[in-house]
């Protein structure tokens, strides 16, 4: 049986993919935790304006996470495809 080790660009891409995926999962967890505190409907009178302000701030935080979440998700997917392509290319080249 032939032993294969990951070296060179493939190793660096795997490490980068791991870091990007970890960041993506952290952002996903953060958004999920924020969304769990969001109310779908809230009925307030004028005396409870602070609750409405808190909900608006919460929605703004969730919306602010959408671009970094999308970017890291796309980057993780692209890196995974590049790694798979390089691995297949290396395997076919040695075949």
Which of 34, 41, 36 is CA-nearest to residue 57?
A: 34
Q: How far apart are CA 66 and CA 76, in angstroms?
A: 15
pTM, two decimal places: 0.80
For the chain, give every domain's residue range: 28-36+49-95
Q: How far apart are CA 23 and CA 34, in angstroms?
A: 16
Q: What is the pLDDT of residues 69-91, one digit of tens each?
A: 999 999 999 999 999 999 999 88
pLDDT of residue 5: 67
Report which listed range, 42-46, 50-54, 62-66, is most confident: 62-66
């Amino acid at each position: 049986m032939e032993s294969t080790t990951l070296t060179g660009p493939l190793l660096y891409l795997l490490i980068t993919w791991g870091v990007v995926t970890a960041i993506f999962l952290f952002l996903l967890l953060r958004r999920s935790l924020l969304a769990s505190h969001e109310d779908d409907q809230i009925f307030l009178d004028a005396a409870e304006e602070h609750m409405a302000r808190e909900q608006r701030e919460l929605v703004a935080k969730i919306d602010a996470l959408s671009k970094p979440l999308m970017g890291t998700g796309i980057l993780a997917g692209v890196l995974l495809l590049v790694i798979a392509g390089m691995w297949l290319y290396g395997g076919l080249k040695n075949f």
